[in-house]
Amino acid sequence: MNRSILGACTAVFILGSVAACLGQDVPWKAFNGTAKSQESVAPGDLKAELSPAQYARVVKPIETRIDMATKAMEPCEAEMQKPEEKRRQGVLVKCKERSAECYLAASYSAKKAARLVGKDSLKAALKEQYEEPNKQKAIDIYLGLALDAHTGGNLRAAVYYYKKILSIDPENADAKEALTKLAEQYRQASKDAKRSGNKGGGSDGKEHSWDNDDWKSTGRGDYSDYGNWRNYTGGVW
């Protein structure tokens, strides 16, 4: 595939990812409009104002998911105690992903639990104590994973995590900026190829002969990443 076409299509796809995510329905919008604005309502005391049975029904499911998020990180913490060269990156990534999923589930549970309480002050308490903090924890984990993948040359994973963040928070500036930079990176790569007189071929000089050796020379990942970017314009991602 011609390098300039690949670069342009890749850039368009990444920028399109931002636009698509901006218009996407997300859990945080699911119940908007069902109650008065909670911004000006002082949070109540959930333990004091709910009966034990109500507390168990409303809050315990949220706390269970938070506990799961904490436990999901235990293997990661154990792995980090090892010398850097002996750490299993796959374990670290899986633990973080699982923890982020649990924090996200806790936040979503808090959003749904607001329907189970009558007072706006209790709805505000659920939002302040559980919904927003746990949503932010999930975003922070995914952002860390995206940055690690991006700097490590695994662009497929980086795009996935940045888009994941935008599905949670469509206005997230860090994810938007990162995806825009990725698009610009490929636009620039396309321009550089044209200036060098390259017709779009690979290292063997044949037009359209872009292979794994050429991909690895860019420092953007291994063969699996090359295959993914090669198929990018076909909608594989």
Q: What is the pLDDT of residues 200-214, one digit of tens each?
A: 444 444 444 444 444
Least confident segment among 31-35, 67-71, 89-93? 31-35
| Residue 224, burial from CB neighbour count under 10 angstroms (0-12, 13-18, 19+) | exposed
Q: What is the mean pLDDT of the chain?
A: 75
First vs last Cα of the chain: how many Å apart?
A: 17
100-144: pLDDT as tens digits: 999 999 999 999 999 988 889 999 999 999 999 999 999 999 999
Highest mean pLDDT among 12-16, 43-47, 130-134: 130-134
Residue 3 CB coordination number (10 Å): 22
